[in-house]
């Protein structure tokens, strides 16, 4: 009952705010039934509650209404509704048959909805132009990546309907990266540095060069080869790119492009010890893969784009068209893998598929469909403006996707036993869907049921109710453990409240609420 009141209050406030402080009962009823079609069975109860709550809402000032609505349903106060689209806008400089995009996950955690939505955008654009898609695992930090995460991303993309044409691991291309690193050393664009991390950070902050920057090419080449041979331990040396130590872009201030990491890798085991940093590997791989359009969230920033373009320019490589958009954030839910990992390690959540999270596995457990995520992604599109989405926006689309295809079952939360004296034994046919032809199920009844304690507020001794799709009963006595009633008739009586029920032969359910 409390859920019904909250639903009515939300739409009463919304209607009032939209109409200068006056809510209309019919409009509120329409919204409530639109969101909860099952309440049509309780229409008289709904009407009565709407009258009561609309009267209360209309007694409030417009400012009070707006404040209350912001408190319970802030998503309804968004003044500019996201325009629904059926397809994404055109890509700049895109030619049919020549567009190549990429899915570039770092397998350091489970796939989350941001990865999924970004993947959908890249996939749909490639297909829009009869192009190709790469699945490229950015796995050049062996301390972070795990075997299970690779497969989780594959499964997540497949579930979303995303198919890729090519697949590769960056970890299997290290020999190639080494060749390009040596080219930079030979051209005096890179040097081996033995400064500690703290010193590098401090010098970059102050814009000062370290003593290793101007070493001879031969010295750098010798130390580079020693790095590859295992002479240096982790943390002792790095290979740094010569950028611009005075640049306003800190990414350009002699960034580290290779470092020693002494940790086994799930794909290449302990074959390599020297690993490229993200920007170096990505800059080269986008060229090797022939990527024409990089579509990614803006957390990477223009600063990293400048660095990646600079790296490619040193080898005469063509830059892809880079389009950045705001990260797909959802209110009250961490998206970053680092934060999710912390929650798991602290025991706040039970795992990567905990329904309170925004991983694809967690969202599946909420009952959200891949089609709903695809439609939602296309509707919101890509924008550089910061926005936090409400889950209700996705759920609304999901309900429309599910409504015509999902079977209906009776569900009784917080159950209490109901006994019907004089009840006939019946075998009742219950439709799986009120309008669609999804078949039916048969249930045998004997007069013993379970109903929701939430419905006890409606019960009064002597009052008549209808067990939905079954028969009418009259309440005799109500206690904390049991409701006793008697059979009245099978005929459908007008304006008699209907309640859901399950028999003694029921399945127990555990409800997890995000």
Tell me which of 113 and 60 has the higher pLDDT.
113
Contact 17, 62 (CB under 8 A): yes
What is the β-pairing status of strands 426-431 and 440-445? Answer: antiparallel
Q: Cα(181)–Cα(224) distance, rounded to whole angstroms? A: 9
1 pLDDT band (50/70/90 cuts)? very low
pTM for the whole thing?
0.79
Q: Cα(113)–Cα(162) distance, rounded to whole angstroms? A: 14
Please state, for a pLDDT cut of 70, what percent of the chain lies above it: 97
For residues 250, 254, 257, 260, the Cα torsion angle rounded to the nearest 10 degrees is -110
Alpha helices in 169-212 (DSSP H): 174-186, 197-206
Q: Cα(423)–Cα(471) distance, rounded to whole angstroms? A: 9
Q: Which fold has domain 415-503?
A: Ribosomal Protein L25; Chain P (2.40.240)
Q: What is the pLDDT of residues 19-57, one digit of tens each?
A: 778 888 888 998 888 778 778 888 888 899 999 999 999
Instruction: Flag the least confident range among 146-155, 350-359, 383-392.
Output: 383-392
Mean pLDDT calculated for residue range 501-506: 90
Looking at residue 75, what is its pLDDT?
Answer: 65
C-alpha distances in angstroms, 111 versus 115, 182, 192? Answer: 6, 35, 36
What angle separates helix 174-186 from helix 217-229, to the nearest 10 degrees? 160
Instruction: Flag the least confident range among 251-260, 275-284, 452-461.
Output: 452-461
In this structure, whether the domain defined by 175-276 belongs to CATH 3.40.50.970 is answered with no
Looking at residue 387, what is its pLDDT?
Answer: 78
Q: Shortest CA distance to 53 belongs to which of 72, 37, 40, 34?
A: 72
Contact 423, 446 (CB under 8 A): yes
What is the β-pairing status of strands 498-499 and 482-489? Answer: unpaired
Looking at residue 2, what is its pLDDT?
Answer: 59
Contact 475, 483 (CB under 8 A): yes
- Within a 10 A sphere around the Cβ of 49, how many other Cβ atoms? 22
Q: What is the pLDDT of residues 59-103, one digit of tens each?
A: 888 888 888 887 888 767 644 334 445 678 899 999 999 999 999
Looking at residue 244, what is its pLDDT?
Answer: 97
Instruction: Flag the least confident range among 5-9, 73-77, 286-290, 483-487.
Output: 73-77
Looking at residue 417, what is its pLDDT?
Answer: 95
Contact 504, 448 (CB under 8 A): yes
Looking at residue 83, what is its pLDDT?
Answer: 42
CA angle 56, 57, 62 (to 5 degrees): 140
φ and ψ at 373, to 5 degrees? -65, -40
Instruction: Flag the least confident range among 104-113, 193-202, 267-276, 374-383.
Output: 374-383
Q: Which of 83-87, 292-296, 435-439 has the highest mean pLDDT?
A: 292-296
Looking at residue 35, what is its pLDDT?
Answer: 78
Contact 297, 290 (CB under 8 A): no
- Those residues whose C-beta lies under 8 Å from the C-beta of residue 30, and which sit 6 or more positions away, are none
Half-sphere exposure of 361 (CA within 13 A, CB side): 14
Looking at residue 288, what is its pLDDT?
Answer: 98
Q: Cα(157)–Cα(134) distance, rounded to whole angstroms? A: 12
Q: What is the pLDDT of residues 456-493, one digit of tens each?
A: 878 888 999 999 999 999 999 998 889 999 999 999 98
Looking at every residue in the chain, the average pLDDT score rounds to: 91
Please state, for a pLDDT cut of 90, what percent of the chain lies above it: 69
φ and ψ at 252, to 5 degrees? -90, -5
- Those residues whose C-beta lies under 8 Å from the C-beta of residue 429, and which sit 6 or more positions away, are 440, 441, 442
Per-residue pLDDT at 164 exceeds 50: yes
What angle separates helix 370-380 from helix 113-128, to the nearest 10 degrees? 70
Q: Where are the domains of the chain?
A: 2-77, 175-276, 415-503
Mean pLDDT calculated for residue range 371-375: 95
Q: Cα(372)–Cα(400) distance, rounded to whole angstroms? A: 8
Looking at residue 297, what is its pLDDT?
Answer: 87
Q: Cα(413)–Cα(508) distance, rounded to whole angstroms? A: 10
Mean pLDDT calculated for residue range 384-401: 87
Mean pLDDT calculated for residue range 3-17: 87
Contact 18, 44 (CB under 8 A): no
Looking at residue 283, what is its pLDDT?
Answer: 98
Residue listed under structure tokens 């409390």: 2
Instruction: Flag the least confident range among 12-21, 263-272, 312-321.
Output: 12-21
Per-residue pLDDT at 126 exceeds 90: yes
């Amino acid at each position: 009952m409390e859920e019904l009141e909250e639903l009515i209050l939300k739409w009463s406030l919304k209607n009032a705010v939209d109409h200068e402080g006056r809510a209309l009962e019919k409009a509120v009823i329409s919204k409530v039934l639109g969101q909860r079609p099952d309440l049509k069975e309780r229409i008289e109860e709904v009407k009565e509650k709407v009258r009561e709550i609309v009267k209360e809402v209309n007694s409030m000032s417009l400012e009070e209404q707006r404040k209350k609505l912001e408190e319970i349903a802030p998503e309804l106060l968004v003044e500019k509704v996201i325009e629904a689209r059926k397809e994404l806008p055109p890509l700049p400089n895109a030619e049919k048959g020549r567009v190549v995009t990429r899915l570039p996950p770092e397998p350091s955690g489970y796939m989350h909805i941001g990865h999924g939505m970004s993947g959908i955008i890249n996939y749909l654009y490639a297909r829009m132009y009869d192009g190709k898609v790469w699945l490229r695992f950015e796995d050049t930090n062996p301390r972070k990546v795990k075997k299970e995460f690779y497969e989780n991303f594959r499964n997540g993309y497949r579930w979303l309907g995303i198919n890729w044409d090519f697949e590769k691991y960056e970890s299997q291309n290290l020999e190639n990266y080494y060749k390009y690193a040596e080219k930079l050393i030979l051209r005096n664009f890179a040097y081996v540095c033995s400064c500690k991390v703290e010193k590098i950070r401090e010098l970059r902050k102050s814009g000062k060069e370290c003593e290793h920057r101007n070493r001879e090419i031969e010295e750098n080449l010798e130390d580079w080869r020693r790095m590859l041979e295992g002479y240096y331990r982790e943390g002792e040396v790095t290979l740094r790119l010569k950028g611009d130590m005075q640049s306003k872009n800190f990414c350009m201030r002699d960034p580290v492009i290779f470092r020693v990491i002494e940790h086994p890798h799930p794909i290449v085991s302990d074959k390599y010890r020297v690993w490229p940093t993200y920007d170096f590997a990505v800059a080269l791989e986008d060229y090797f893969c022939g990527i024409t359009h990089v579509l990614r969230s803006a957390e990477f920033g223009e600063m990293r784009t400048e660095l990646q373009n600079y790296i490619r320019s040193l080898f005469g490589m063509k830059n892809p068209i880079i389009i950045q958009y705001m990260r797909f954030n959802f209110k009250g839910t961490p998206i970053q893998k680092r934060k999710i990992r912390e929650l798991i390690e602290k025991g706040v959540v039970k795992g990567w598929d905990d329904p309170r999270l925004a991983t694809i596995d967690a969202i599946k457990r909420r009952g959200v469909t891949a089609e709903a995520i695809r439609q939602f992604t296309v509707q919101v599109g890509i924008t550089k403006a910061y926005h936090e989405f409400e889950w209700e926006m996705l759920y609304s689309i999901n309900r429309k996707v599910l409504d015509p295809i999902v079977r209906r079952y009776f569900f009784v939360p917080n159950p209490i036993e109901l006994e019907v004296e004089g009840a006939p034994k019946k075998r009742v046919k219950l439709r799986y869907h009120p309008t669609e032809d999804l078949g039916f199920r048969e249930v045998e009844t004997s007069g013993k049921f379970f109903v929701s304690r939430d419905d006890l507020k409606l019960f009064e001794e002597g009052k008549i109710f209808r067990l939905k799709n079954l028969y009418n009963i009259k309440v005799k006595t109500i206690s904390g453990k049991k409701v006793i009633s008697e059979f009245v008739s099978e005929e459908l009586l007008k304006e008699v409240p209907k309640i859901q029920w399950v028999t003694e032969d029921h399945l127990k359910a555990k409800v997890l609420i995000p």
